[in-house]
Amino acid sequence: MFESLPKLPNDPILGLSIAFRDDPNPEKVDLGVGVYRDASGNTPVMAAVHEAEAQLLKAEITKAYTAPAGYPGANEAVQELAFGPEHPALAAGRVASVQTPGGCGALRLAAELIQRARKGARVWVSTPTWANHVPLLGSAGLELKEYPYYDFERHALDFDGMMAALAQVPAGDLVLLHAACHNPCGADLTEAQWRQVTELASERGFVPFIDMAYQGFGEGLDADAFGPRWMAEQLPEVLVAVSFSKNFGLYRERAGALAVVGADSARAEAVQSQLLSVARGLYSMPPAHGSALVAGIWASNELRQRWQSELSEMRGRIQTLREALVGSLAATVPGQDFGFIARERGMFSFLGLTEAQVGQLKDRYSIYMTDNSRINVAGLNLDKVDYVSRAIAEVLRG
């Protein structure tokens, strides 16, 4: 059966991780893989998560399957996190939600739901977008189209180009948007721009499909959720895929959720039934451990405050690194403006280097990033900022 299957190359980003691991250079720096790291280079277990886990393990008396929609309390947590506890869509019973195996599971579950509702539907994705959006959505049978988003020459959001393209999107199509901390460019919509996109969606009749993977890593939990909250209030239908990998540090636990806003409570109930049916055919029951930790933290005022404080520290560290890198580059590359790095949000930015220059950084300095020069700012630490900026200066000088 399998003799016709060729061996595939390593995933580009995972391949970088392997190359970094095997590099003996003590000065090596990994700016490739998109996970948060602290100053020691570790992806930390948050103190609030540690405490919630200790409480869970003490109280847990069964390993039976969780409910099909997920661990009790986790859906309430994700709905309040995504939309705010007083949101009118929640008050009206317009939101259906289920727990999923990470944000990836939420995206794929959404794709399968869309396919049921409208076979072969079109989803418009930004240029650029997270690379895994393409296989997660496309392999479900959806047609993918692109709209302009990032101007690589100006290192800024191409909002005019984006709006001109979206003004041509037909009714019933979906538009994939990043809630905050755009992956891979770090350039986000402002509140005013979110309002304009919402107005256009209302006029054109397209459905927003929002990937919220980094809530709390940009400007804060509420500010980063402005887009989904505003759209859910103003529009009849919105899909929101949520990941807890970043803001709760639950990467390996694969904790996420999909929330779907319907036109009314009856539509939400119908969607909920469909979500459970689709999930049954994909993975049957969702994993419980990570979602149980989210639910436990959200239910405890003490743990919630501790978690929010830790999340604020992580966000502040990333911004400090952005500003430090800009300052160091200003000194080492005085003829080039890298100020956009400090203006962007989240973990990612494009440096604007060529593939050959990226290769030189890896081969000569053991600095690892993707070929398009996207860096994970959280992979830096303050002790390495000057080393990285000097290396960038050297490759730019040729």
pLDDT at residue 273 is higher than 80: yes
Integer Cα distance of 100 and 96 in angstroms: 13
End-to-end CA distance of the chain: 51
Place of tokens 């978690």: 307
Label residue 12 by pLDDT band (50, 70, 90): confident
Decide if 347 contacts 178 (C-beta within 8 A): no
CATH class of 12-45+309-397: alpha beta
Decide if 149 contacts 102 (C-beta within 8 A): no
pLDDT at residue 14 is higher than 80: no
What DSSP line would sit under 18-86, residue for residue?
HHHHH---TT-EE--S-----TTS--PPPHHHHHHHHHHHHH----SPPPTT-STTHHHHHHHHHH-TT
Catalytic member of 211, 224, 307, 384: 211
Q: Where are the domains of the chain?
A: 12-45+309-397, 65-299
pLDDT attached to residue 17: 85
Distance of CA 167 to the CA centre of its chain: 25
- Among residues 14, 12, 35, the alpha carbon closest in space to that of 214 is found at 35
pLDDT attached to residue 16: 85
Report residue 182 as tokens. Answer: 């755009």
pLDDT attached to residue 11: 78
Average pLDDT over residues 351-378: 96
Report long-range pairs for 54-63 (Cβ below 8 Å, ≥24 apart). Answer: 55/296, 56/289, 56/292, 56/293, 56/296
Integer Cα distance of 107 and 349 in angstroms: 23
pLDDT at residue 269 is higher than 80: yes
pLDDT attached to residue 298: 97
pLDDT attached to residue 207: 98
Which amino acid type is present at position 382?
Answer: L
Helix segments in the chain, DSSP class H = 12-22, 47-59, 74-83, 88-91, 102-117, 133-138, 159-166, 191-204, 221-224, 226-234, 265-282, 289-299, 301-332, 340-343, 355-365, 385-397
Decide if 63 contacts 292 (C-beta within 8 A): no
pLDDT attached to residue 288: 95
Number of other CB atoms surrounding residue 5 within 10 Å: 7
Is 363 an annotated catalytic residue?
no
pLDDT attached to residue 10: 77
Average pLDDT over residues 319-333: 97
Catalytic member of 124, 130, 298, 307: 130
Distance of CA 270 to the CA centre of its chain: 27
pLDDT at residue 13 is higher than 90: no
pLDDT attached to residue 295: 97
pLDDT attached to residue 292: 96
What confidence tens digit (pLDDT) does each residue in 75-88 have? 999 999 999 999 99
pLDDT attached to residue 294: 97
Query: What percentage of the chain reaches a pLDDT higher than 90?
Result: 93
> Comparing 3-12, 308-317, 355-364, which segment has the lowest mean pLDDT?
3-12
Better pLDDT: 14 or 213: 213
Integer Cα distance of 251 and 256 in angstroms: 10
- The topology under which CATH files domain 65-299 is Aspartate Aminotransferase; domain 2 (3.40.640)
Asked if domains 12-45+309-397 and 65-299 share a fold, the reply is: no
Average pLDDT, the chain: 95
DSSP reduced 3-state for 122: strand
pLDDT attached to residue 175: 98
DSSP reduced 3-state for 186: coil
pLDDT attached to residue 388: 97
Q: What is the DSSP letter of 248?
A: S
Catalytic member of 246, 307, 362, 384: 246
**Conformational region of residue 129, where left means phi above 0, alpha means psi within -120 to 50, and beta covers everything else:** beta
pLDDT at residue 208 is higher than 80: yes
pLDDT at residue 15 is higher than 90: no
pLDDT attached to residue 34: 87
Is 307 an annotated catalytic residue?
no
What confidence tens digit (pLDDT) does each residue in 163-191 have? 999 999 999 999 999 999 999 999 999 99
Integer Cα distance of 212 and 385 in angstroms: 29
